Structure 1
């Protein structure tokens, strides 16, 4: 799914109006019907809808929504800054339609402080849409501050009021903190970053029938990884195939006391379909790996730490989990990178070793995959003010070094050498545990070995990792799920993918 800027979305609206037999007020009605449909289906036990409307088109959506919900049997109360003030043309039309109904009151913001927000009330925010270019001020700031203190269920129309669509405000502004954002047609960039996405709650994308031609022709560098993209990438296993068909993976991981990381990465590579899997680890991990991962072949790379990484052109290396940053390991890794020129997957301590000297970045083979979390990224490339700035720097570095970058976050980002960004929306906070990144290393190395392109391996890999974590959380809870539980749900994810592939045939 493409992620468009606020400006592109406005053009999309205009394109739809120009190329369909639909007016702007009819398009507003279409959006409000979609909003009302979701709310009436999901808020059946909350009969009182309190809608706060601005005087622009987002407010117009709210005014139309109030009328439609009232007609569906909900109680609806409307608040505006000044009921006699100036509204946009389409909002004015819907304000008039609303006033033609008896039973709906239109109140001033000043009355909100005395309103009875009981436990059956749903607060709906339709103050400002994607056109907001500055922090909230005056009466709008005051009413949002008031509403944020209420414990009612909260829903935002298109985007939480006070939240910019494409950037982050410099100072900490007042922003409506919602439980659900019912957004139109596509994700907004601010939903996908930790500093801003925390205001949006659960994001629901509503299809309001904006013109498909614009979606196809308009270009962007930002995408959300959705099921359609995954179904286009995934390659079902062929009947007439053998272990050589699905490539060879070599996991280089582990040191004394950290053999578990090697186990997780190895099991992950095995469970995601690699034809042959080898593990380079220190001798102290031999029995552990042979017992826990009997399907993988052991290669001794040292005594208590890896000092010899070998170098073979017919395998895809996944290097870093539990490696340690010992002097002998550092020397061995850098020697390996100097003579190995095929793409590799680098994670954890492999990245920490490389970050010790900026010239080491030039040793990373072209089209390799690196998977830094925020602190590892900072060690490699320097600190940034926020995740927006970090992503911008990541794009620059991915182009400079011709590598794929998997930026681990709540919504992990895949950054390509061409500068495209793919946001992953599967996964949950149950992955915030040691070992989760080791699993991802195994997944990515396995998919590369199976012949997926670097871009597709990263996209499918982060999606699969997150989807398995979602299934594990359903079974064990976010608190109790372990990285091994995530590995054990890979089969369920592949079952889903194969069913989708069968439907496409």
Structure 2
């Protein structure tokens, strides 16, 4: 699913109007009918409704909704804010349609002073002040109105976007001046800002409503951001040749686990083998030998010369993928061995955890990473690499820049994990749940990605498929075990079910 910018949304509306063809006022009527249907399903007619409409097309939507709710028997009080004396053409038309209607509810056009209505529990506020076109923080009277609405106990439904929230960059927005909706009814596609953690407080329940905008235009428009869909992921899956053997299914090298962190190596290598790799070799300090031989009998052990740390690079000619970083520590000796390993890597690479922390303290080494490398930072690891960020949008922007700079892939982990591609595009992953916020979950992802690379998937295919599988396995585990008790090894246990789900 594509995620469009506010400028592209206007372009999409325009294309639909010109090519359906349909008048803009009739497209607005179509949207209003869709809004009204969902509102009526959620809030019965016993709810008194207060509609706040702005001077633009979002206000036009709200005025049309007020008219339709009145027709359905709701008690509706409508306030149209026309401070500058200038309404959009469709907003002005819907104003006339509302006030010329027999038996219409209370209507007030606010041009100067405003005496706000009393908002109480058991009432519904329809927020149609400002929509997707907003490009600056609310201030003055509108900011005061937003604060007044938020302070009430009334339910709030926002049309398309909560007023005050911008569709992409809210880095310098004033959060106190954004509507906190109980439900957001957005048109056609989610907005980029809806995917960021700090904005969930404004959105409430999000419903994406199809108003039949031009599918031709949607397919033609290039989108920087997308949300991956299961149908996309299914197409990536490769069949296993009936005559395959372990030598043809890929050999992965896992470098993980200092002494005391053998669990990281266990989780990574188990996930790697559960992802279809024919063989996995674990390079780890000597003292981890017994743990790993017992916990992962299917893997091959390659012991470091040191007892407790990773200290020497391994030849990679015989491997199809390398996963490095989980639990290796950040000592000077390990750091030097890590960059030496990456310099001599002759296969696709996944870089995670302590390997990222080492790079964060030696940023010049980023230039030495092999092309197509996959980095899997969580937000704090990304900030160690690229500097502190004010919000999720800035963090995403820095992850994109990093991916372009290194010519590789940055998997920025989170609720909607963002896969940043080297050419600048971003794919968001929809699977996963809060139960996966547990130690070792990232090690499992590293193992999955390494296993898929070993199987022969390209870095782009491996990141999209691997992140989706990781989240899907977590969802299947949470469905049976609950989120609260989910641990990283459960994700590995449910990987087979995730593969089966995708294979249909």
Using structure 2 for the length normalisation, give the TM-score: 0.89
The aligned counterpart of 1:424 is 429
Q: Deviations over 1:155-214 (max 9, x none)?
A: 321111101112125253411122332211222222223444542334332221111221
Q: 1:436 maps to which residue? A: 441
- Which residue in 1 is equivalent to 2:472? 467
> Aligned-pair distance for 1:75?
5.1
**Cross-structure match for 1:81:** 81
Q: 1:122-163: per-residue Cα shift (whole Å, max 9, x none)?
A: 433221111112211233212211222234443321111101
Q: Which position in structure 2 is the counterpart of 1:261? A: 264
Q: CA RMSD in A?
A: 2.7
1:28, distance to aligned residue in structure 2 (A): 0.9
1:18 CA drift (Å): 0.6
Runs (5+) with no aligned partner, structure 1: 500-505
Per the alignment, in what secondary structure is the counterpart of residue 246 of structure 1?
coil
Contact 2:120 2:152 in 1 (8 A): no
Q: Any idea what SS the aligned residue of 1:372 has?
A: coil
The residue aligned with 2:310 is 306
Partner of 2:354: 349
Aligned position for 1:283: 286
C-alpha contact 1:190 1:197 (8 A) present in aligned 2 = no
Is there any run of 5+ residues in structure 2 with no aligned partner, and where? none
**Cα offset for 1:350?**
0.8
Which of 117, 120, 133 lines up with 1:116 in the alignment? 120
Give matches, 1:12-411, under 5 Å.
12-43=12-43, 47-72=47-72, 76-81=76-81, 87-99=87-99, 100=101, 102=103, 104-106=105-107, 110=114, 112-118=116-122, 121-173=123-175, 174-196=177-199, 198-237=201-240, 239=242, 241-301=244-304, 302-313=306-317, 314-411=319-416
In structure 2, C-alpha distance between the alignment counterparts of 1:162 and 1:235, rounded to whole Å: 46
- Check whether the contact 2:320–2:348 (CA below 8 A) recurs between aligned residues: no
In structure 2, the CA distance between the partners of 1:129 and 1:487, relative to structure 1 (3 Å rule), is same
Indicate if the aligned counterparts of 1:55 and 1:80 stay in contact, CA closer than 8 A: yes
Give the count of matched residue pairs. 497
CA distance in 2, matches of 1:311, 1:122: 66
Counterpart-to-counterpart distance in 1, 2:398 and 2:84: 48
User: Relative to structure 1, is the Cα distance of residues 139 and 323 closer, same or farther in structure 2, using a 3 angstrom cutoff?
Assistant: same
Instruction: Give 1:451 deviation, angstroms.
Output: 1.9
| Shift in alpha-carbon separation, 1:312–1:387, aligned structure 2, 3 A | same
2:137, 2:174 within 8 Å by CA — same for their partners in 1?
Answer: no
Name the CA distance, whole Å, in 1 between partners of 2:372 and 2:444. Answer: 20
Please give the alpha-carbon distance, in whole angstroms, between the structure 2 residues aligned to 1:249 and 1:140: 58
| CA distance, structure 2, for counterparts of residue 295 and residue 151 of structure 1 | 59
Q: Say which is worse superposed, 62-71 or 266-275, in terms of deviation.
A: 62-71
Q: Deviations over 1:384-417 (max 9, x none)?
A: 4443333333333322221111122332211111
User: 1:49 touches 1:122 (CA, 8 Å); kept in 2?
Assistant: yes
**After superposition, what is the alpha-carbon deviation per residue over 1:38-80, rounded to whole angstroms, capped at 9, x for unaligned?**
3344556985544322222112212222333454565544343
Compare 253-262 and 356-365 and name the one that shifted more. 356-365
* TM superposition shift of 1:103: 6.2
Deviation at 1:84, TM superposition (A): 13
Name the structure 2 match of 1:503: none
2:185–2:206 CA contact under 8 A, matched in 1: yes
> Structure 1 residue 450: deviation in Å?
1.9
